[in-house]
Amino acid sequence: MSTTRTAPNVPQPRKSVLSIDAYVPGKSKSDKVPTKYKLSSNETPFGPSPNAIEACKKMAANLELYPDGTAIKLREALASKHNISANQIICGAGSDEILSLLAYAYLGEGDEAIYTRHGFLVYPIAIKAAGATPIIAEETDCKANIDTILSCLSERTKMVFLANPNNPTGTYLPISEIRRLHEGLPPHIMLVLDAAYAEYVLKEDYEAGIDLVKSANNVVMTRTFSKVYGLAALRLGWAFAPSPVIDTLNRIRGPFNVNTPSIETGIAALKDEAFIQKAVEHNALWLDKVTKALEEMGLKVTPSVANFVLIHFPENEAYSAQNADAYLLERGFILRRVSNYGFDNALRMTIGTQDANRAVIAHLSAFLGVSEPEVS
């Protein structure tokens, strides 16, 4: 073989791939003591609906058969629940897969995609994996700022990723602001609205973005079964998008990217509306109680509308987030360090069961040496 270039002696990935910091999931156990409560990944404390568990068990008898690659039964169930067209829905192995597919299909070398300072870390991974350049728009008080996002637009911009509400901050933007963002985008730039926590938001000025997708050619909304539906282990997500986008993603997704247990379990979970309502009500109640109790202890909490809170610790080294994390871990409570999101001195806590929430409050007040707040 004649070649003038010196070939590397091992296979080399694209340069952009090596620039990626791999996603680090929340800790799932303490090294020292048995886990009492895992409050690190925004999983629901209620698990899935019993009907969903039953559906999943049933499917164990048919594992030799390939799934329906179009997931039509699930898409129809989603379509009827949200009053949208099944033809404009795509399902994926978690919404993470769909976010990646969007990046692979629409971004490449030389393109830019915007996300916000404390935005979900899957976005820069997907953007870089596609060879494109992530551009960070600063936030205001841990909240996305539409004007700042718009000021980041360039001739190279192809996509804007926005989690609404955002993880790990828990903040949200009203639909009027999302519409203002959309109006500021040229029609060739795609707006990806990641509504992973939409079910939890009870604010009247909030919408996940369904009507916006219906009326525009460049808006995609992604959703997940991992959070309030309690099916994180199955990996099931979906997107509602304009037909040309669905057609594009269908060309590059794995032909059987969603498995049969996920399809059947997802459908059963969707149908149990009372179960979901209970989880949402519990969350609203405890989000409020936990926030107030933490504030009473002198901690700063970013106002959240999701199923978690971002807790900021005092400057005093003794009471740092790192020390609080270690203190809680020793007692079997796992919260989430968020240094990789740019919050060196904060922890993210998922709203748990009543017992879990009360215990974290008790332990944190002991850690801080303040009196334990009354939680009704």
Ligand X SMILES: *Cc1c(COP(=O)(O)O)cnc(C)c1O
Interacting residues with ligand X (CB under 6 A): 42, 94-96, 120, 163, 167, 194, 196, 224, 226-227, 232, 237
Nearest approach in angstroms of CB 118 to ligand X is: 11
CB count in 10 Å sphere of residue 25: 9
* For ligand X, the closer CB: 133 or 166: 166
Q: Which is nearer to ligand X, 235 or 363 (CB)?
A: 235
- Whether the CB-CB separation of 208 and 196 falls below 8 Å is answered with no
Cβ atoms of 299 and 340 closer than 8 Å = no
CA separation for the pair 154, 151 (Å, rounded): 8
Q: Where are the alpha helices (DSSP H) in 200-337?
A: 210-215, 243-252, 260-271, 273-296, 321-330
What amino acid occupies position 339? S
Least Å from the CB of residue 59 to ligand X: 20
> Which C-beta is closer to ligand X: that of 163 or that of 213?
163
- 139 versus 194: smaller Cβ distance to ligand X: 194
Residue closer to ligand X, measured from CB, 275 or 341: 341
Length in residues, the chain: 376
CB of 189 to ligand X, least distance (A): 20
Shortest gap between Cβ of 338 and ligand X (angstroms)?
12
- Let me know: does 361 contact 355? Beta carbons within 8 Å: no
Q: Report the C-alpha gap between 359 and 353 in whole angstroms.
A: 10
CB count in 10 Å sphere of residue 22 = 7
Nearest distance from residue 166's CB to ligand X, in Å? 7
Tokens of 114: 């915007």
Closest distance of CB 237 from ligand X, Å: 4
Closer residue to ligand X, CB minimum distance, 42 or 262: 42
Nearest CA to 123 out of 257, 235, 21 is that of: 21
Residue nearest to ligand X as judged by C-beta position: 94
Question: Which residue's CB is nearer to ligand X, number 62 or number 339?
Answer: 339
> Which token pair is 59?
């499917």
Q: How far is the CB of 129 from ligand X (least distance, A)?
A: 15
List, as one string, the DSSP characters of 309-322: EEEEPPSSGGG-HH
Please give the structure tokens belonging to residue 216: 């525009």
* Nearer to ligand X (CB atom), residue 39 or residue 293: 39
Minimum CB distance to ligand X, residue 108 (Å) = 23
| Residue the block writes with tokens 């637009």 | 153
Instruction: Considering only the C-alpha atoms of the chain, give the largest distance between any 2 of them, rounded to a whole number of Å.
Output: 79
